[in-house]
Homo-oligomer: A and B are copies of this chain.
Amino acid sequence: MAETQESILLKIKEQGDLVRKLKSAKESSEKIKEEVAKLLSLKAQLVPEDAAPQKFTLKTAKGTRDYNPQQMSIRNGVLDKIIAVFKRHGAECIDTPVFELKDVLTGKYGEDSKLIYDLKDQGGEILSLRYDLTVPLARYLAMNKINNLKRYHIAKVYRRDNPAMTRGRYREFYQCDFDIAGQYDPMVPDAECLKVVTEILDALDIGTYVLKVNHRRLLDGMFEACGVPADKFRSTCSTVDKLDKSPWEEVRTEMINEKGVSPDAADRIGEYVRLNGGVDLADKLLKDEKLSKTKAAVEGLQGIKLLLEYCELFGIKDKILFDLSLARGLDYYTGVIYEAVLTQPIKIGNEDQTVGSIAGGGRYDNLVGMFDSKNKQVPCVGVSIGVERVFSVLEAKLAAGDISVRTSDVDVYVASAQKNFLEERMKICAELWNAGIKTEQSYKKNPKMLTQLQHCEENGIPLAVVLGESELKRGVVKVRNITTRQEDEVARDNLVEELKTRIAALSVKGVNGTA
């Protein structure tokens, strides 16, 4: 495609930056001249503003994308597997509008609130696009005074973040959430969320993983025990959250310089956050001199112990890691938090790609109350599956030729070798459609035979009905197996039954399946 106005503008900006850099670095005037010339030539490519008629750039909004049929095929395949797990656990499905009153979202996301998309004030209500599915769920529960719900919700959410689209980070992206709301016994629904994550990751078969768990009460207790003032717990917590991407030294510096944590306190936190393990670690920490004196830490550790016990009953203990460095960014968590991480890079073509976090969630007991005029709480716990990362891994595999997908399910193509068979093709198509057979034909009156057969091959259509004058006179048509190229004559009157038999046989053989 020709370069767009926008891509030229971007290059001009980059080139301008380079020139300024060279100048400030006092590079040779020759070098600078060379780069300035490039800059001027870029500027010359710009369509002058008064040039008429100025067409706008044809693109999707920044950070968003279309899904083409292959990508949709991958997306629907992934979502179907996930929905099957949600349904296996008895989850109901709800949906909420794509925008909410701005007030609903205000004050729920901490530092990230600046990423919310607002709608223009066109008279009437002030609206924003949803930022996640959790706050709308809490609004839904409070508004409808619902005390118990096990629901899944799969929908797009919106964040004005810096997109990194090659790594599956968009401004419009899918969330895929499972939550259990209700006043229940400790850790019973929480453990089921972890079980759901393992079933989904096993079903997606995307690689080995570990499910890290921690507890917000333990983190609070740990901060308290290390001497962090209570009003700095949340901001310290969001700094700890960066440990999955940054080394401890950087996190420590941010704590001290930006969050106002004392160096001593930071060092004490550093000792704890390098710990991870299982029940043994929880037991050991319950005896830890500082933590054992802190009510919050003891509560958190007892919660973790119970959770690990339930995970053992669910047969998933070997996939769980109690990890004190896990913090999670969002403000609203109050109890257990967890995150699933792929432990090995994924092979795509000849390259390894690191995926990292693929699911996460936790307990948020106070969010629904924020929407209730009497502050009535509905405790909740849930998990969100990072499907965009799964999509981008599978799309990369598709691009590398590691997998293939079909974009339509058509079983039969109605073709003709001779001219003037459109009417007969139409009659047969109607007959097959009415019998529930997935059927296509050419929309041309007199398509070429080769073109018709190529369409079958390109689209993985396994069978073709081939019409010919001499056959029709004898009351038969040919049925062609596209893969084997074998053609058989079939009685016209028996065509539907014969095709149904052949389709059933093909689908047993798996010829019909998508990767």
Contacts and interface: CB of A to CB of B under 8 A. Distances in A.
Contacts of A156: 98
Contact of A122 (B76, B160, B188, B313): B160
Nearest to A184: B443
Interface string A73-103: 1011000000000011111111111111101
A410 interface: yes
Interface string A421-433: 0110011011001
Interface in A403-435: 407-410, 422-423, 426-427, 429-430, 433-434
A199 B433 contact: yes
Interface residues of A, number: 95
Contacts of A75: 95
A189 interface: yes
Interface string A23-38: 0000000000000000
A119 to B, nearest CB: 6
A172 interface: yes
A163 B327 CA distance: 44
Interface in A128-152: 129, 139-140, 142-145, 151
A470 B156 CA distance: 50
Central interface residue in A172, A185, A422, by most chain B CB within 10 Å: A185
A88 B92 CA distance: 28
B60 A92 contact: no
Contacts of A118: 119-120, 122
A103 B5 CA distance: 15
A204 to B, nearest CB: 15
A60 B100 contact: yes
A443 B188 contact: yes
A427 B313 CA distance: 5
Given A91-B408, A185-B445, A313-B427, A97 B60 contact: yes
Given A313-B430, A408-B87, A72 B93 contact: yes
Given A87-B409, A185-B445, A143 B59 contact: yes
A439 interface: yes
B87 A438 contact: yes
Contacts of A151: 69
Nearest to A186: B445
A65 interface: yes
A209 interface: no
Nearest to A1: B145
A104 B117 CA distance: 19
B426 A313 contact: yes
B62 A124 contact: yes
A96 B66 contact: yes
A233 interface: no
B64 A310 contact: no
Contact of A73 (B93, B103, B310): B93
A426 B310 contact: yes
Contact of A120 (B57, B95, B120): B120
B90 A410 contact: yes
A224 interface: no
A94 B120 contact: no
A310 to B, nearest CB: 6
A89 B438 CA distance: 6
